[in-house]
Structure 1
Amino acid sequence: MTDCIFCRIVSGQIPCAKVYEDDHVLAFLDINPLMPGHTLLIPKKHVETLFEMTPQEAAACGAALQKVAAAVFKGTDAEGMNILQNNYEISGQEIFHVHFHLMPRKSGDGFKVPWPAKKYGPGEMEAVLEKILQAF
């Protein structure tokens, strides 16, 4: 897709700081990192969301994700790692090509993940579970 910035990176029209590449995926440093080493991993084929990927495409991303995350973790002397993947605008997706954020973490890096946990009301968990199980 020619108007997709990630597709233009895959095709070589836009340069990147390449971390990893194989036949199916490309990983490169984010140009607007949250912290040094913040890496993006993308499938080479244009797919907007995780839900549109084939099982084979998802498996290729998963295999590379583990390998790249380990290298980013070790190469940045990280103490932890956040891996984030957003689907659709409501979740924060800004570039509509599947991508995984690999964010190496260090003490005092100032990055916080807000997590406003809530409780289920009476019977709510069971109702949600039933709807999810019916969607398979």
Structure 2
Amino acid sequence: MTAYDANNIFAKILRGELPCYKVYENEHVLAFLDIMPRAPGHSLVIPKTPSRNIFDISPDDYAHVARGTHKIARAGMKAFKADGITVQQFNEAAGGQVVFHLHMHMMPRRDGIALLPPASRKEDPKVLEEHARLLISALAES
């Protein structure tokens, strides 16, 4: 398996070298909006430990990611008045992984509305700011 690349985009976000629309952070995970969302509120939850994917993260660190995703999913249901949530996690290129820092996708869903294709369009920054505000507000109420 290929080694972890400390210069991947999510590692740079964790180090503060690149900006993000942060919605949640604790000592173990960071959650932020996907700038090319497949649905309104599409968020990513990443571990702060350098982990390429599920194969090299410790079970304890993976549990922190799962707990963070659970928290963001509950907020996503509320903030976007969703009918459901899609959670996805990809491993290696053949499994669909594009950024090689473990991450979980949380996508609020509405009945009858399909997900946009992956990486199909960059969202307007004002829309992302509003979606981040909605998620942060829902998290504060939980």
Q: What's the TM-score once normalised by structure 2's chain length?
A: 0.75
**Is 1:74 matched with 2:70?**
no
Task: Write the mapping of 1:63-102 to structure 2, written as runs, cut at 5 A.
Answer: 63-102=67-106
How far off its partner does 1:71 sit? 0.6
How far off its partner does 1:50 sit? 0.7
Match of 2:130 in 1: none
**Is 1:30 matched with 2:31?**
no
Alignment gaps of 5+ in structure 2 = 117-142
Runs of 4+ in 1 over 3 A off after TM superposition: none
Task: Write the mapping of 1:1-136 to structure 2, written as runs, cut at 5 A.
Answer: 2-111=6-115
- How many residue pairs get aligned? The number is 113
Match of 2:125 in 1: none
Once residues 22 and 80 of structure 1 are traced to their aligned partners in structure 2, the CA distance between those partners, rounded to angstroms, is 25
Larger Rg over CA atoms: 1
Residue 93 of structure 1 aligns to a residue whose secondary structure is coil
Residue 68 of structure 1 aligns to a residue whose secondary structure is helix
How far off its partner does 1:59 sit? 1.4
How far off its partner does 1:43 sit? 0.3
Q: What's the TM-score once normalised by structure 1's chain length?
A: 0.78
